[in-house]
A and B are shown apart, each in its own frame.
Chain A
């Protein structure tokens, strides 16, 4: 069974950093694109970043230059390094497995990031 488990969320002060991880199992992780999607409290889904199977990356404009997506295929792990955090980055962050039709066919349960002083 395909499974994604996020970790690393927590409370951080504005301007601080946090590193999220997503442990993948049940599929050949290295061959799939992977995404991060976030959801602010009471709001809708917003795509954050994607990493291709070859390691190339894509970011939403609002995180470009602050967030870095990476993957460790040996450990079947997806990461999101978040720097220069702002209050508006407060959200549940989901990792999701990419599908060939540019959708997301499996999602993790999410990890909560709170940026506050």
Chain B
């Protein structure tokens, strides 16, 4: 089973700053099967990025994804107040299983 490790666990930034979130896999992941989600307190997750770098419908262009192999990054270019949330990466692997990272809590500094 592929394990996804996200870092940092908590990221404290101010609105207007740039956020860089990391997702590292224990084995190589196909970029086709790497996604990112945002979850706000009391809400369901929302798809942000799929195929490692494609924005989902309605997602602002300040969100971008990159990476390949075992290292993936979600970048938020200029934080808006509504961006403070928990972010998860997710992959689908050769064992036909789905795994999520443990999440990064992006909080207001």
7 A-B pairs closest in CB distance:
A102-B92, A103-B35, A47-B98, A107-B44, A45-B100, A44-B103, A102-B33
Name 17 extra pairs, CB < 8 A, besides A46-B100, A108-B44.
A44-B102, A44-B103, A45-B90, A47-B99, A50-B98, A58-B96, A94-B44, A99-B50, A101-B32, A101-B33, A101-B50, A103-B50, A103-B90, A104-B35, A105-B56, A107-B45, A109-B44
Residue contacts A-B, CB under 8 angstroms, 13 given: A37-B45, A44-B101, A44-B102, A45-B39, A46-B100, A47-B99, A58-B97, A94-B45, A99-B50, A101-B32, A101-B35, A102-B92, A103-B50
- B37-78 CB mask vs A (1 if < 8 Å, else 0) is 101000111110011000010000000000000000000000
Question: Are B97 and A44 in touch, CB under 8 angstroms?
Answer: no
Residue A11 CB within 8 A of the other chain: no
B residues with CB within 8 A of A: 32-33, 35, 37, 39, 43-47, 50-51, 56, 88, 90, 92, 96-103
Contacts of A65-117 to chain B: CB distance below 8 A: 94, 99, 101-110
- A105-B37 CB under 8 A given contacts A44-B102, A47-B100: no
Which residue of B is nearest A35, CB measured? B98
| Interface residues of A, count at CB 8 A | 21
Which residue of A is nearest B90, CB measured? A103
Question: Are A45 and B97 in touch, CB under 8 angstroms?
Answer: no
Q: Which residues of A contact B37 (CB under 8 A)?
A: 45, 104
Q: Which of B32, B45, B50, B56 contacts A45 (CB 8 A)?
A: B45
Q: Which residues of B contact A94 (CB under 8 A)?
A: 44-45
